[in-house]
Structure 1
Amino acid sequence: MAAPRPVRTPCPPSRLLLPLLCCALASRRTGAMALQPPSITVLRTSAESPRLGDSVTVSCEATSGLPELTLLYWLGNGSFVEKLHPDGAVREGTVLEEPRGAGVALRRDLHFSSLDACHLRTNFTCVVLSPLGVDTRELRWPPPAPGLG
C-alpha cells in the first residue's frame, strides 16, 4: 500500500493581498521616496529639561513613500503605550500627515499628563513601519531639572 500523499493547500488569497497591493502602489509612485524605506526624521520634546509633574509632549516625525500602508506608533518597554498606561497618564495622539515631495511626512505625539520618575525609567520607542521597512528611535530624556531628580 502506498503512503498517502501530502495535501497541498493553496496560499489563502488574504495572504497574497497585501504584497500585491504594495507592489501596485509602489509601481504607481515616482520620485526619490517611492522605494525608500520609511525613516524617522525628528524626535523632540516640548520641554528642554522637563520637571517631574510637568505636562510633556514628545513628537515623532517620519517620512514614507507609502503613507497608505505606513504605521507610526509608540512603544513603552516593548508594549503598546495604551496597554502599559491604561489610565491614560501617557497616551498617543493621532497621526498627522503632510505631503512632502513624492512622499508624506507623518507625525505622532506622545502626551504625558504628569511626568513622573517611572516615565523617566521607561524605554519609549517611536516606530515607523511599512512594507518597505522599519525604523525606530528611542526617547532619550534630558537630565531632570535641578532639585527634582
Structure 2
Amino acid sequence: MAAPPPAPLSQSLPTGHPGAAARVLLSLLCWALVSPRMGAMALQLPHITVLQLSAEPPRLGEKLTVSCEAASDLPEFTLLYWLGNGSFVEKLHQDGAVSEGPVLEEPRGSGVTLLRDLHFSSFSAQHLCTNYTCVVLSPLGVDTRAVRWVPPAPAPSSASSG
C-alpha cells in the first residue's frame, strides 16, 4: 500500500498572522542559500563601519551628502539602503529632494565593503527634523545607524525695556 501524499506546504506553515507563511519560506530560502557557504568558514554579521557626516551642521539651502559604509560576508545577498522616518527615501521624497546614490562594492577578504550615499539637493528644515537611518541587511542579520543633526540654537532675542 502506498504512503499518502504529503500535505501541501501551505497547510503545514504557521497561520493566524498575515505574511507568516511568506516569512517562513523566505527564512528557509535564505538558510538554504547560505548554509553551504558556512561549512568552511565562520561568517560575520553585516555591520555598518562608517557613517560619514560633515563636521559642520548642515546649512539650509545647501547641497549635502551623507555616506554609509558597511561590511558583509555575503555580498550577493546583502542590501544597503536608507530610510527616512522608517520609509524608503524615494517614497518619502517623491520630489527627488533627497535621493540614494548607487551601491558601490569593494572586495574585502572573503566579503565586501558596501558604500551608499544619501544626497540632499537643497537641505531644508524638514530634513533637519527627519530621522534618516542607514540599514545593512543580509540573511545573517541587520545593522542600522541613525543620522542626528543638532538643530541650530535660536538667535538670542534682545529685550528692550521701556
Report if TM-score (shorter chain) is over 0.5. yes
Aligned residues: 136
Q: Is the 8 A contact 2:97 2:122 kept in 1?
A: yes
User: TM-score, normalising length from structure 2?
Assistant: 0.75
Provide structure 2 residue ranges, at least 5 long, that are not aligned to the other structure: 1-5, 14-21, 156-162
- Higher radius of gyration, 1 or 2: 2
Counterparts of 1:145 and 1:66 in 2: how far apart (Å)?
A: 44
Secondary structure, in 3 states, of the residue corresponding to 2:9? Answer: coil
Aligned ranges for residues 45-84 of structure 1 at < 5 Å?
45-46=53-54, 48-84=56-92
Equivalent of 1:20, from 32, 52, 72?
32
Q: Alignment partner of 2:65: what SS?
A: strand
SS in 1 for 2:37: helix
Give the aligned partner of residue 106 of structure 1: 114
**Deviates most, 63-72 or 39-48:** 39-48
Letter matched to residue 85 of structure 1 = H
Mapping of residues 126-145 of structure 1, within 5 Å: 126-144=134-152
Assess if the C-alpha contact under 8 Å between 2:128 and 2:151 holds in 1: no
Q: Return the TM-score normalized by structure 1.
A: 0.81
CA shift, 1:17, in A, is 3.5
* 1:49 partner letter: P
- Compute the displacement of 1:95 (Å): 0.3
Contact 1:40–1:62 (Cα < 8 Å) also in 2: yes
Aligned to 2:159: none
Q: Secondary structure at the match of 2:39?
A: helix
Partner residue in 2 for 1:88: 96
How far 1:103 sits from its partner (Å)?
1.4
CA, structure 1 residues 101+48, in 2 after alignment: closer, same or farther (shift >3 Å)?
Answer: farther
Deviation at 1:146, TM superposition (A): 8.8
Q: Deviations over 1:95-123 (max 9, x none)?
A: 00001122110000000000000000000
Identity of paired residues, percent?
A: 67
- State the Cα RMSD in Å: 2.4
